[in-house]
Amino acid sequence: MFIVLLILASVLLFEGDIPAAEIDAKYSNAESKFLVMDNGARVHYRDQGKQDGVPLVLVHGAMASLHTWEPWAEILGERYRVITLDLPAHGLTGAVPNGEYGAAAFTQTINAVVNEIELDTFVLGGNSMGGGATWRYALEHPQRVSAMVLVDAVPPASWQGALEESEVRQSGPMGFSLLRQGWFRAIAGALDPAPLIGQGLRAAYNNSPVVTEELVDRYYELIMREGTRAAILGRTDSYGEAETETPDLSQLTQPTLVIWGAQDSVIPVSSAEIFEAALPNVRTVIFDDLGHIPMEEDPQRTAEEVISFIEAL
């Protein structure tokens, strides 16, 4: 009976992919560049701002894209060179030929972009999953990362036991929980994700007014880009599961700015304290009224902290 219900749901709620060319035309601009990696992946990135300024490479979170950094790019670009990119299974990079979407693939993608634009050293920052990609890249390439900016960053999986379960709020994005369920993953490739996207964005952005119809459409259409849904489902259930041992973040001696929204419904704000304890050279800023995407919820206030941090390097 359960199998019958799954099949029925797939038929009734079916929604096909949107052609990649249509999405690419809508969400690329004059700043968009495309790099073809050795593994055949076509990576979308942008290199904006003051070209002789301190280079700042920014990495987005799960289900997001480089567009999440555009508010910061506009503000920080007046002082710094701002590089953003779409990770595999996201944005206009989307599906990649080898089907690899884990931590190693993200490190390789970041490395390919900074090599393409010939950066020797740079400030590396990321939000959520992109924050996890940031400290992982810094562990592998410490000599290239002059400083880090971790924005509501994914922590090592081994830290989960140190986080209070009561802090995992029921109001968080349902999509993340459902994607960990085998029964849902079996049909998700054919379902219309619109209701989950709307609920997830309102939860992640702390019901911020920045969650407009345009923003919801952006997330929806990029996820529905041909091949991307299947690529998302091809990722591991949990980004942290790629770890076979506890990473030693004390090795990361670079100056690090930790930014967190206290109203984060995805990763508890107590994670910021654990990052602060683990990293030897860290400054932490908590925004009491912001959620999981603080750089979009309040670009000006959060960008000012980044400016203060970089100017002190």
Residues 284-297: b if buried by 16+ CB within 10 A, e if exposed = ebebeebbbbbbbb
In the chain, the number of structural domains is 1
* Span 33-54, pLDDT tens digits: 999 999 999 999 999 999 999 9
Q: 13 pLDDT exceeds 90? A: no
Q: Report pLDDT for 182.
A: 60
Q: Tell me the pLDDT band of 238, cut-offs 50, 70 and 90.
A: very low
Helix axes 20-27, 213-223, angle to 10 degrees: 140
- What domain range includes position 252? 2-311
How far, in Å, CA of 113 to CA of 227, rounded? 22
pLDDT for 240 beyond 60: no
Q: What is the pLDDT of residue 243?
A: 59
Per-residue pLDDT band for 192 (boundaries 50, 70, 90) equals confident
Confidence bin at 11 (pLDDT 50/70/90): very low
Residue 39's identity, in one-letter code, is N
| pTM (two decimals) | 0.90
The string of pLDDT tens digits covering residues 107-120 is: 999 999 999 999 99
CA 313/CA 122 separation, integer angstroms: 12
User: What mean pLDDT do residues 239-256 have?
Assistant: 80
pLDDT score, position 122? 98
Sign of CA dihedral 136, 144, 308, 65: negative
CATH number of the domain that 266 lies in?
3.40.50.1820
Question: What percentage of residues in the chain have a pLDDT greater than 90?
Answer: 76
Question: In this predicted structure, what is the pLDDT of residue 245?
Answer: 73
- Please provide the average confidence, as pLDDT, over all residues in the chain: 88
Strands of the 81-85 sheet, one edge to the other = 32-36, 42-49, 81-85, 55-59, 122-127, 145-151, 256-261, 282-287
Least Cα distance to 251 among 282, 278, 283, 284 occurs for 278
Confidence tier at 235 by pLDDT (50, 70, 90): confident
